[in-house]
Structure 1
Amino acid sequence: MMIPMVNEVVRCLEEGIIASPAEADMALVYGLGFPPFHGGAFRWLDTLGSAKYLDMAQQYQHLGALYEVPAGLRDKARHNEPYYPQVEPARPVDSLKTA
């Protein structure tokens, strides 16, 4: 059931129905009960990797249109692009200066 949900939310972003990945992730977690430890569909895609998701999802495309991966997601997988911008990892506490 995750594959149709992820595909549909990606289509919503591509069609301008939602404004951002963060907007969709909040709605999925708080509105539909998407597992909060995954952070939402787009955060989950970024963690898993679009290419890995594409490989997984293509196994089910024979089940119908709901399982067809959107073109934008295919492009992201091809170019290894995340939905969220990359952030620098946190610095260790001992590297912080104190007053």
Structure 2
Amino acid sequence: MSLRHVGATTFAAGLFVCVVSAVTVGVAWGGTDAFCPGARRLTEYAILGIEGVPPTVRYTDGCNEFALSPAVQWSGLATVVGLALAAVGQAAAE
């Protein structure tokens, strides 16, 4: 099996798990629940921090703080790695 096929398979599996887990469980794993008047603008969203053990990505919508679901994090990482492997495999094949 070539590197391109391994990358494409990893990309597809990661993307599938990421979408299914985001739809069924949700993207946010936990968060604060404060009332925020008015609509949230896209410019108010920001990454607050990335922690090492356990790997956690925290972000804010300008009012509340959330933690990204580990299933979405790991499957998203697998998607990116698969895309990189497929690109390297494609470049090596030509």
TM-score by length of 2: 0.22
Name the structure where helix makes up a greater proportion of residues: 1
Which protein has the larger Cα radius of gyration, Structure 1 or Structure 2? 2
TM-score by length of 1: 0.22
Name the structure where strand makes up a greater proportion of residues: 2
Higher relative contact order (CA 8 A, sep 6+): 2
